[in-house]
């Protein structure tokens, strides 16, 4: 009976996959094996949102291994839902149990480095535009593309204000708006006192960065606790399954599997809610829409 249920589950998954693949619109392609393989890979990447490069290969290996573990679990325990639950947990738990990484902290670190470089260059008597051009060589990796575009626009005779406004829209951050607004004012004044302004701005960014890091430490604490509780729970359940398998016998029935599914859905839902609560809300910008 268990083998029949497992076979039925596999056939159901294969049927859904074949249906989805059949509904995809395809253009006629040359009938060679390499082209068919490439098309299948592209279809899989599109349907599963597979990341490119090593991350995608690692995820595919995890998915294949979790499917095998789920199949073995379903065959041994009679829990057909393991065919879906095990891959979902293997792929989803690392994401759900990790605190969201805010972009603001990394951006503040890059802005601090860029502003201090500008301050040092402005102290030599260069103009704001020249200082921006010089800063391209030592631009932080996070801002390298935006600073490169900014310098290209300045070299194409864009007004400094318009080029900085376009960069503000690309970064889309109130922290970047403060830096770029200060550069606009300094450019309009002919760089008078620009070095002192950048130094004061860098000190302000450092103070803000210190506070943001402290906030992120506090924000990550619930995720540490939840990871510990999850590991303890999984280890305890695994030991209970080995020592006393009869404890889980009610979950082999259809009603028991429905109850188990409801418990897992409630657990995953609570993790999603916790992660959503931990995400930073967008803050209002200063230069929003200014370049339009």
In a domain, 131, yes or no: yes
Q: How far is Cα 93 from Cα 82, in angstroms, rounded to an integer?
A: 15
Helix (H, G, I), strand (E, B) or coil at 38: helix
182 and 144 within one domain: yes
Task: For 134-173, write each residue's pLDDT tens digit.
Answer: 888 888 998 999 999 999 998 998 888 899 999 988 888 8
What average pLDDT does the structure give for the chain? 77
In the chain, alpha helices (H): 2-23, 33-48, 54-77, 82-96, 103-122, 128-135, 144-155, 160-171, 174-188, 194-243, 254-278
Instruction: Return the pLDDT at 39.
Output: 62
**Residue 130's pLDDT band (cuts 50, 70, 90):** confident
Among candidate residues 163, 189, 214, the one where a domain is terminated: 214
Q: Give the count of beta carbons closer than 10 Å to the beta carbon of residue 115.
A: 25
238 and 265 within one domain: yes
Which segment of 9-23, 97-111, 233-247 scores lowest on mean pLDDT? 9-23
Task: For 27-68, write each residue's pLDDT tens digit.
Answer: 444 444 444 444 665 665 665 555 666 666 676 677 777 778
Positive or negative torsion for Cα 2, 48, 58, 280: negative
C-alpha 216, offset from chain centre? 16
Instruction: Return the pLDDT at 256.
Output: 83
**Residue 216's pLDDT band (cuts 50, 70, 90):** confident
Task: For 255-283, write each residue's pLDDT tens digit.
Answer: 888 888 888 888 888 888 888 888 777 77
**Residue 188's pLDDT band (cuts 50, 70, 90):** confident
Which segment of 167-176, 183-192, 241-250 scores lowest on mean pLDDT? 183-192
Task: For 64-84, write each residue's pLDDT tens digit.
Answer: 777 787 787 777 777 777 777
190 and 157 within one domain: yes
200 and 228 within one domain: no
In a domain, 148, yes or no: yes
65 and 109 within one domain: no
Q: Give the count of beta carbons closer than 10 Å to the beta carbon of residue 114.
A: 25
Instruction: Return the pLDDT at 27.
Output: 45
List phi, psi (to 5°) of 284: -65, 140
Q: Which residues of 40-71 are buried (b: 16+ CB within 10 A; e: fewer)?
A: eeeeeeeeeebeeeeebeebeeeeeebbeebb
Q: Using alpha carbons only, what angle is made at residue 187 by residues 181 and 189, rounded to the nearest 5 degrees?
A: 105
Closest CA to 279 of 95, 97, 100: 100
Q: Which domain holds residue 144?
A: 103-214
- Total domains in the fold of the chain: 2
Among candidate residues 197, 214, 231, the one where a domain is terminated: 214
């Amino acid at each position: 009976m268990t083998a029949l249920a497992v076979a039925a589950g596999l056939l159901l998954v294969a049927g859904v996959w074949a249906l989805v693949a059949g509904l995809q619109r395809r253009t006629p392609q040359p009938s060679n094996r390499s082209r068919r393989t490439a098309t299948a890979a592209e279809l899989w990447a599109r349907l599963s949102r597979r990341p490119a490069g090593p991350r995608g290969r690692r995820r595919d290996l995890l998915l294949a291994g979790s499917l095998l573990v789920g199949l073995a679990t379903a065959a041994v325990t009679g829990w057909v839902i393991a065919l879906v639950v095990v891959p979902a947990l293997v792929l989803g738990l690392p994401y759900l149990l990790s605190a969201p990484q805010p972009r603001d902290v990394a951006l503040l670190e890059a802005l601090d480095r860029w502003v201090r470089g500008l301050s040092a260059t402005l102290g030599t008597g260069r103009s704001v535009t020249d200082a921006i051009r010089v800063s391209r060589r030592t631009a932080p990796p996070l801002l390298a593309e935006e600073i490169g575009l900014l310098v290209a626009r300045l070299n194409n005779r864009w007004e400094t204000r318009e080029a900085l406004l376009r960069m503000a829209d690309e970064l889309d951050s109130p922290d970047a708006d403060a830096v770029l607004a200060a550069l606009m004012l300094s450019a309009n004044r002919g760089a008078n006192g620009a070095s002192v302004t950048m130094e004061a701005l860098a000190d302000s960014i450092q103070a803000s960065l210190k506070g943001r890091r402290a906030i992120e430490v506090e924000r990550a604490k619930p995720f540490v606790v939840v990871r510990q509780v999850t590991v303890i729970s999984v280890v305890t359940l695994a030991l209970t399954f080995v020592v006393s398998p009869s404890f889980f016998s009610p979950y082999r029935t259809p009603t028991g599997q429905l109850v188990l599914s409801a418990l897992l859905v409630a657990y995953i839902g609570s993790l999603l809610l916790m992660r959503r609560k931990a995400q930073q809300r967008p803050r209002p910008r200063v230069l929003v829409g200014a370049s339009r």
